């Protein structure tokens, strides 16, 4: 089992509710269709000009990442995110691997 994490640094001008709605209505359904399980999204105010949004999801194996991203909804959701939330820096990584 692997857990993938995406961290986004959002300018304070981007509303949390807008990001939350995008996650619930666009990102979550796309990730679920791609096979991701146990999806969680959290938002933290870290002070200063940015906020931190963290999304985690689980897959069975590393091979499932390529398979999940081969469905059209995930790249489309990613492109829509880039259009809506300009200036957000997102890092992606594997948080842990549990065999």
For 6-39, what is each residue's pLDDT tens digit? 999 999 889 899 999 999 999 999 999 999 999 9
Cα–Cα distance, 36 to 90 (Å, whole number): 19
Residues whose CB falls within 8 Å of the CB of residue 62, separated by 6 or more in sequence, listed in order: 2, 94, 97
Taking 80 as the threshold, does the pLDDT of residue 51 lie above it?
yes
Domains, the chain, in order of start with CATH, read 2-85 (3.30.70.100)
Which H or E run includes 6? strand 2-11
pLDDT at 40: 95
Task: Give the predicted TM-score (pTM) of the model.
Answer: 0.84
Cα–Cα distance, 2 to 79 (Å, whole number): 24
- Over range 44-69, report the average pLDDT: 88
Taking 70 as the threshold, does the pLDDT of residue 96 lie above it?
no
Taking 80 as the threshold, does the pLDDT of residue 98 lie above it?
no
Cα–Cα distance, 78 to 30 (Å, whole number): 10
pLDDT at 57: 94
Per DSSP bridges, beta strands 50-59 and 2-11 are antiparallel
């Amino acid at each position: 089992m692997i857990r993938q994490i995406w961290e986004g640094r959002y300018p304070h001008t981007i509303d949390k509710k807008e990001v939350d709605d995008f996650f619930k209505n666009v990102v979550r359904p796309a990730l679920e269709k791609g096979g991701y399980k146990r999806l969680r999204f959290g938002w933290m105010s870290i002070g200063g000009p940015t906020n931190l949004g963290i999304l985690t999801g689980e897959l069975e194996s590393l091979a499932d990442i390529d398979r999940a991203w081969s469905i059209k909804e995930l790249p489309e959701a990613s492109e829509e995110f880039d259009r809506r939330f300009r200036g957000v820096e997102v890092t992606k990584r594997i948080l842990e691997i549990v065999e």
